[in-house]
Amino acid sequence: MSTKNPTGRDEGSFEDVVLDLLLAVQDDLQRAPRSRAARSWSRGPEHGHTRLRRTKVNAVGERRASRGGHRSAAIVALAVAATVALVALLLVIPRSPGQKVIIRPAGRPALQAPFPAGSVVVAQGGTNYSGGTVAGTTVNANGYLDVYSPTAVGDAAPLASFTKDMSGPVTLAFDPWGNLWVANANNDTLVEFTKAELARANPVPSVTISEARPGELASPYGMVFDRTGDLWVVSNGDSLVYEFTKRQLAKSGSPVPHTTISAGITTQPDCDAFDSAGDLWVSTQDELLEYSKAELAKANPRPTVTISSTGGADLVFTPAGDLWVSYYNGNELVELTKSQLAKSGDPAPAVTIFSTTLGSNDTLSEPFALALTSPGDLWVDNFGNNTAVEFSPAQLSKSGSPTPLRMIAGAKTAMNWPTYLLVVP
């Protein structure tokens, strides 16, 4: 019986074997001598993942190619033949109606289909959202996920909703393969919707992770994937951060965390985020703590930088390395620059965004989650008044009370104590 691996394919299946063969061929080619005459595939860094590029054939050089060049061309021919064979096989394999085949190199980031880029995914905590106590008896009590159009504004109904196995969904994260993970605060579980499941109407999550020991996932308020596909979960209830490896997440169960972070956490943590260097930042009620990539490889990671008096509900890094923090209690957003984060201290925010009104709603009302779009717009969900707002980079360039570009608000939106949001890239 096959089991699902982190890429969404079935381990032991023909597809999995052939794809692994193709990747092995690609790696073999990296070690082969290169010639400008040969068609060659090369690997280069692209956000920590694998990319493929092909060089042009030089007809004159082809006749002068070294044995290494001929070897490279032969390997590419083998790869092409194997790919054609795989496609031909997939065309004849019987599949259930609506079943999709997802083919992609392992580790390469996937688009979060079927939703278009710019779609806004919101976790609705539900009326029974209580931070790790009991489940409710209705959908509205237990909460759900809603997906809004990239152009949604005003009283816009969601494109899709997901309600199965939701129990106070408090945070969301896409893994590197496009699968969506949800943390439930009311029953202390993590659940996964695969990319294929997201294309179906209200599916049951394929994987459920529960605590190995009582209280171990108490109120999982934050989670973020690293570049390898391991998941770092903030447990607000027991003031710890846990790492689960991608292998531990490949099937339902109650795995013992691979790493536990306790050092430096003196008050309840709320969220976490990785910067571009691979360092993990954890926000507690009154501090920001940085754990360097080198520290994360240790059994007991210790903070390398501590920023005082700046703990917030959520964190998001800009491409430039600056950090936006949401202040739930103060109804503010603040930005700390990359240079301010380079050493411990208590720096004054470079930018502070205050609330104003749009229609009958405050633009910042107990802001929880933050999400950046590729153009640099910042989305914020407001737990206090069931809205979500979007700010442009120009509006975020200086302190003030800018009117958001748009707000999602109204009865049709089905906003229900929104606790987190993501933007589909």
What pTM did the predictor assign?
Answer: 0.75
pLDDT in tens, 228-248: 999 999 999 999 999 999 999
Q: Which residue has the higher pLDDT, 116 or 48?
A: 116
Three-state DSSP at 307 gives: strand
Tokens at 193, concatenated = 């919707």
Q: Provide the CATH number for the domain around residue 185.
A: 2.120.10.30
Which band of pLDDT confidence, cut at 50, 70 and 90, is reported for residue 157? very high
Same domain, yes or no, for 40 and 140?
no
Tokens at 121, concatenated = 């995914």
Which band of pLDDT confidence, cut at 50, 70 and 90, is reported for residue 133? low
Same domain, yes or no, for 237 and 190?
yes
Same domain, yes or no, for 243 and 388?
yes
Per-residue pLDDT, averaged over 145-151, amounts to 97
Which band of pLDDT confidence, cut at 50, 70 and 90, is reported for residue 311? confident
pLDDT at 16: 42
Q: Which helix (H) or strand (E) holds 74?
A: helix 67-92
Same domain, yes or no, for 184 and 303?
yes
Same domain, yes or no, for 38 and 86?
yes
pLDDT at 215: 81
Per-residue pLDDT, averaged over 33-43, amounts to 31
Report the mean per-residue pLDDT for the chain.
Answer: 80
Same domain, yes or no, for 231 and 134?
yes
Instruction: Count structural domains, the chain.
Output: 2
pLDDT at 373: 96
Cα–Cα nearest to 141, from 120, 173, 169: 169
Give Cβ neighbours of residue 409 (< 8 Å, ≥ 6 apart).
154, 155, 359, 361, 385, 386, 387, 388, 415
* The pLDDT of residue 21 is above 70: no
For residue 54, with 0-12 CB atoms within 10 Å meaning exposed, 13-18 middle and 19 or more buried, which class applies? exposed
Which band of pLDDT confidence, cut at 50, 70 and 90, is reported for residue 136? confident
Same domain, yes or no, for 186 and 60?
no
E strand intervals along 217-343:
220-225, 231-235, 240-244, 259-261, 269-274, 280-284, 287-291, 305-308, 314-317, 323-327, 332-336
Q: Point out the domain boundary residue: 92, 110, 138.
A: 92
Q: Point out the domain boundary residue: 37, 72, 92.
A: 92
pLDDT at 27: 41
Same domain, yes or no, for 250 and 397?
yes
Same domain, yes or no, for 137 and 241?
yes
Contact yes or no for 49/108 (Cβ under 8 A): yes
What percent of the chain lies above the pLDDT cut of 70? 72
pLDDT at 288: 97
Q: Is residue 115 part of a domain?
A: no
Q: Is residue 186 part of a domain?
A: yes
DSSP state of 287: E
Same domain, yes or no, for 269 and 384?
yes
Q: Which residue has the higher pLDDT, 305 or 29?
A: 305
Cα–Cα nearest to 230, from 185, 188, 293, 288: 293
pLDDT in tens, 323-363: 999 999 999 999 999 999 999 999 999 999 999 999 999 99
Q: Which of 43-47, 90-94, 207-211 has the highest mean pLDDT?
A: 207-211
Same domain, yes or no, for 25 and 132?
no
Q: What is the domain range of residue 56?
A: 3-92
pLDDT at 57: 29
pLDDT in tens, 62-75: 333 333 444 444 54
Same domain, yes or no, for 45 and 162?
no
